[in-house]
Amino acid sequence: MKALLLSCILALFSIAAAAVIETYQFDTPLQQQRYHAFIEELRCPKCQNQNLSGSDSAISKDLRRQLHSMIMDGKSDIEITQYMVARYGDFILYRPRFSSQTAVLWLMPIGLLLLGSLVWWRMASSRKRVQLPVDEALSQSDQERLRALLDDDDNAERVEERS
Amino acid sequence: MQRLKLFLPLLVFALLAAVFFGVERRVQTGDYAPTDLPSALIDKPLPDFVEPALSDGRPINKSQIVGEIFLLNVWATWCPTCHFEHPFLLKLAAEGVKIVSIDYKDDADAAKRWLAEKGDPYFLTLFDEDGSLGLDLGVTGAPETYLVDAAGVVRFRYQGALEKKVWDKEFAPRIAGLNAKDSDQ
């Protein structure tokens, strides 16, 4: 059991091992932090859904190298983002800026949430309406039918006891 | 009415199926390639550059290639699709289409040998050894072909091998359009 647990925990770490290992030198921990933040946030243009840190494609390598040299040159985050977007468009940003083209991406979740709550609200309110009034007095004929059924049951029980 | 509501899921299914089928059809006919990345350079001027020529290493800048409509073809000897597209480029060049090329992240000797053996369709070949010009153009791989107008503005980018079908559908109408606009002015 312990061994199984241990292997499960170890398996969690294998994801980190799959990330690309490159040795770039930085002067300050902040530069390194910014580099890692960028390669997590920037998307590989050649791949469909991988960030720069996870991709081994040639273009990702180039972009990582470019990113490193831009950080070492003291470029600001905004300058780096602008540089990347000017070349690869909004696609490269995992968190695209809000524009007419990306509006659908940003607004769709809110729209779907509203739609969902609307449907839920309509269903809840219609269920309330459908609920029948329960404590309505039974009509004369229903009363008689009920009594007959109950009597039937009583008779049946007596028959069972006797046998 | 309540009865009809039961068919709502079926209706949704039919609608989605129709949409997916339509997209799949467009993928199959080549009208839509989901992996193609729209170029950020469309309708923007070609970025400035100074890059050595493959043939003799003399520095070439943008003003030396801009002036008339031309194709900017990104290729490399390591790129299998470039082998496939090469004969069509030779044909285009023979028809008088000006093609400038970028030898992208390649080995200079291998590239020279390629052009010597297979024929050289290019007006000029720039040697982009480290991929820096490719980066400025937003190249994601080879082959890619840009259509640049007489003013040096990028009008279209195609990712993948050029062939007759693509040429007739994507490039020829655009070039005709650009030519018509030029003659108007």
What is the rounded average pLDDT of the residues B35-40? 81
Q: How confident is the model at residue B182 (pLDDT cuts 50, 70, 90)?
A: confident
pLDDT tens sequence across B46-69: 999 999 999 999 999 999 999 999
Q: Write out chain A residues lying below 8 Å of B141, CB-based.
A: 46, 58-59
Three-class HEC string of chain B? CHHHHCCHHHHHHHHHHHHHHHHHHHHHHCCCCCCCCCCCCCCCECCCCEEEECCCCCEEEHHHCCCCCEEEEEECCCCHHHHHHHHHHHHHHHCCCCEEEEEECCCHHHHHHHHHHHCCCCCEEEEECCCHHHHHHCCCCCCEEEEECCCCEEEEEEECCCCHHHHHHHHHHHHHHHHHHHHHC
User: What are the structural domains, with CATH classification, of chain A?
Assistant: 31-94 (1.10.8.640)
ipTM of model over 0.95: no
Please name the helix (run of DSSP H) or strand (run of DSSP E) that holds residue B16, with its range, or none: helix B8-29
Look at residue B120 and tell me whether its pLDDT is greater than 90.
yes
Flag the least confident range among A99-108, B26-35, B96-105.
Answer: B26-35
Give me the pLDDT at residue A89, please.
87
Contact at 8 Å (CB) between A94 and A51? yes
Contact B178, B153 (CB under 8 A): no
B74: which chain A residues are within 8 Å (Cβ-Cβ)? Answer: none
Q: Provide the token pair at B69.
A: 């409509």
Answer whether B37 sits within 8 Å of A62, measured CB to CB.
Answer: no
What are residue B146's DSSP bridge partners? B72, B157
Burial A53-91 (b: 16+ CB within 10 A, else e): bbbebbbbbbbbbbbbebbeeebeeeebbebbbebbbbb
What tens digit of pLDDT does each residue of B77-110 get?
Answer: 999 999 999 999 999 999 999 999 999 999 999 9
- For A22-39, the pLDDT digits (tens) are 788 899 999 999 999 999
Task: Output the six-digit token pair for A128.
Answer: 């309330």
How many residue pairs bridge chain A and chain B with CB atoms within 8 Å of each other? Answer: 39
Find tokens 């209706």 and name the residue.
B11
**What value does the mean pLDDT take over residues B21-43?**
86
pLDDT of residue A17: 46
Q: Do A66 and B135 touch (CB under 8 A)?
A: yes
Winning range, highest mean pLDDT, from A63-72, A142-151, A154-163: A63-72
pLDDT of residue A114: 96
Asked whether the predicted pLDDT for residue A13 surpasses 70, the reply is no
Mutate to test the interface with B, among A87, A122, A130 (most CBs of B within 10 A): A87
Question: How far is the alpha carbon of B102 from chain A, nearest alpha carbon, in Å?
Answer: 16
Q: What is the mean pLDDT of chain A?
A: 83
State what percent of residues in chain B have pLDDT above 70.
99
Which of A58, A66, A87 has the CB atom closest to B40's CB atom?
A: A87
Q: Collect all residues of chain A within an 8 Å Cβ-Cβ radius of residue B142.
A: none
Q: What is the CA radius of gyration of chain A?
A: 34
Q: Which of A45, A58, A62 sits opposite B37 (nearest CB)?
A: A45
Which of B107, B167, B132, B24 has the alpha carbon at shortest distance from A70? Answer: B132
Question: What local confidence, expressed as pLDDT, does residue B82 receive?
Answer: 94
| Tokens describing residue A156 | 């049946």
B74 contacts B140 by C-beta, under 8 angstroms:
no
Averaged pLDDT, B30-49: 85
